Structure 1
């Protein structure tokens, strides 16, 4: 038997291994609140609507078709221009409440950590997989890129706004307390206007675990 035949047999054997596949599903949600950041600071402020283009929220701190790489992309030299998949920051109130409790705080407001969109009605929001689509009733579509990893910059903002005595301790505590609860980052697939209270159809894609 030659090497080519052996390879074919090996591939066939691999293909027969069981793979857990979770079917796609649809969820219903609602826009709880909207926020926008000044172009020179990542903290946001409440607004009643967001105007979205292909480059994100016009004038927002994270707007742009591209962005500069940072600590989250160690495979690039810091400051390398790359596609901006972090145009929109999405959070859930129930997850922020858990993070606040872990840090011994009464609350953590979405604007303290630069959120643009507070979503209601989705359990375990931060666990939505990459590729999830958010279809807003008004016509906008946003596509989830990934979880938003908590960082010390957001932690310091929480500490300052919550009045913690030790801002550096708060900056260090937040990444641990908010792990897998920090929400999601997403980008605009179909632009338009989002309004507070708007209905959202959440389409979670089929999922599986890749095992090499």
Structure 2
């Protein structure tokens, strides 16, 4: 393993543990030493990778917004190059967001609690990336449900995100079924929400 790849892996480890600790105890409830201990290095050793906790928080929140958008664009490009129907692309987008909602729950909690702690430029970047992600979904939803007007499609996309992103609130032991069962349930609920919104608009 090269020194560069090892350094990147360590950065990822630090970010993962920082996200978990920030979500559990709040941004101000976690010290640099605790994050370092979680990955097996000294607190001061973290400064070889990040300028401080603020930099970690910014990379976490900007990073996940960017990854969601990039992933959505990749799924759209693959579907369109393969000639897939809009229905299949919508299913793919839902599956991608469900993976995030189930596998990155600490980041959902961080976004809800700590977004306002980012400096203005980082917060604006997060919002910009999120708007692009929403609009990607809106375009696909309107391809699947042509009768749905743009404002209704956008509102429904936001509502579906709220539904999928509710998983951190179900984190008590035994509150969630197995991952496969939960993913299937979330997918069914998301598609049901879009179908209900479309049928209501057509009524």
TM tier, shorter chain? under 0.3
Identify, as 1 or 2, the structure richer in strand: 1
TM-score w.r.t. length of structure 2? 0.25
* Rg larger in structure: 1
TM-score (structure 1 length as normaliser)? 0.24
